[in-house]
Amino acid sequence: MTPTPPARSRLMHGLLKRLDYLFVLRPTLFYPVWTVSLAGLWSAERAAAGQPWYALHWPRQGFALEGAIAIGLLTLVMGACFLLNQITDVESDRLNNKLYLVASGAVSLRAAWSETALLLAAGLGGLLWLSRPLALVALLAFLVTGWAYSCAPLYGKDRPWAGIFINLGGSGLIYIFGWLMAAPASGRMFLSGLPYIAGIGAVYLLTTIPDRPGDAAAHKITLAVHWGEERIYGAALAAGTLGVLAALPVREGVALTATLLTWLFFYTAWRRRSVDSALRANKFATLILSFLICWRLPVYLLLLVLVFYFSKWYYRMRFQVHYPSLLT
């Protein structure tokens, strides 16, 4: 990373340095968290309202403030997960030349540990006050996607099969979190979540491809290192196909539409077998489902746009790079 030019005003430099502690979380990573939890909420409310399978509108008139608070608190918990992953991935992130603030030294390890603890305590504490079932699901999500994925003794991210099952479990818990905001747990909850979990599995598989050189150099045995890129493209396409098939018996318009559209990107990645096509599939898989959620919840589109362009401004001003981008 290129440091902030000394000619920049002290005021601006000080502001950007303080924003490091926000952007160390990489806010665009929250898109899947918000989208999947809202998909769970949507599914629960649609089922409770008895809407037909093809319905693409929200069952209720608005998104309750309590729901926004719950997802906001979940965001803090997942932010702790993302930070924990960066803390334990410093070596491979440097080898992969990733734009991560912990690996670059912009945020110290000590500060990252402190922020992780603060986010986790605030998120779980708030959820305990709001809803014990939601707090329990959020705690399980942290234990799965944070501790089990990144820390001893499991180090799931460095074990081929553990990595994918942990990601599937974490995404399932986020979907359940959204569902429990509107309805009690049920068999339908698990069935309705399968298409989304399969799609996330496909996305996770493709994320291992760009990191393969650095992971291999750091002696991390991810699925891409273990299997090779060819098999990963095929496995991602198979997972995307499973998502489409799982959406058929659920008879839910959002899940079926999202899995069909994202399948085209997984298929393209499989045909082209390039890092660019894998990155494109990952980005658009999340965006497609997000825009379907925005169909009836326009304020969510506003949030997505604000986070995207605020992030672009920060990275351009702080490091003179164009990130994030819809291009690969």
Report phi then psi at 88, rounded to 5.
-90, -5
Question: In the prediction, which pLDDT does 53 show?
Answer: 47
Contact 62, 70 (CB under 8 A): no
Contact 255, 247 (CB under 8 A): yes
Question: In the prediction, which pLDDT does 174 show?
Answer: 98
Question: In the prediction, which pLDDT does 61 show?
Answer: 45
Residue 248, both tokens = 């058929």
Residue 125, both tokens = 């504490």
Q: Which residues have a Cβ under 8 Å from the Cβ of 315 and sit 6 or more positions away?
A: 23, 99, 321, 322, 323, 324
**Cα gap 185→172, rounded to integer Å:** 13
String of DSSP letters for 170-217: HHHHHHHHHHHTTS---HHHHHHHHHHHHHHHHHHHHHTTTTHHHHHH
Domains and CATH numbers, the chain: 15-319 (1.10.600)
Question: In the prediction, which pLDDT does 226 show?
Answer: 85
What is the amino acid identity at position 299? V
pLDDT in tens, the chain (328 residues): 555 555 547 888 889 999 999 999 999 999 999 999 999 998 888 877 665 545 555 455 445 788 899 999 999 999 999 999 999 888 777 776 676 788 888 899 999 999 999 999 999 999 999 999 999 999 999 999 999 998 888 888 778 788 889 999 999 999 999 999 988 999 999 999 999 999 999 999 999 998 888 777 777 788 888 888 999 999 999 999 999 999 998 877 889 999 999 999 999 999 999 999 999 999 999 999 999 999 878 899 999 999 999 999 999 999 888 889 876 5
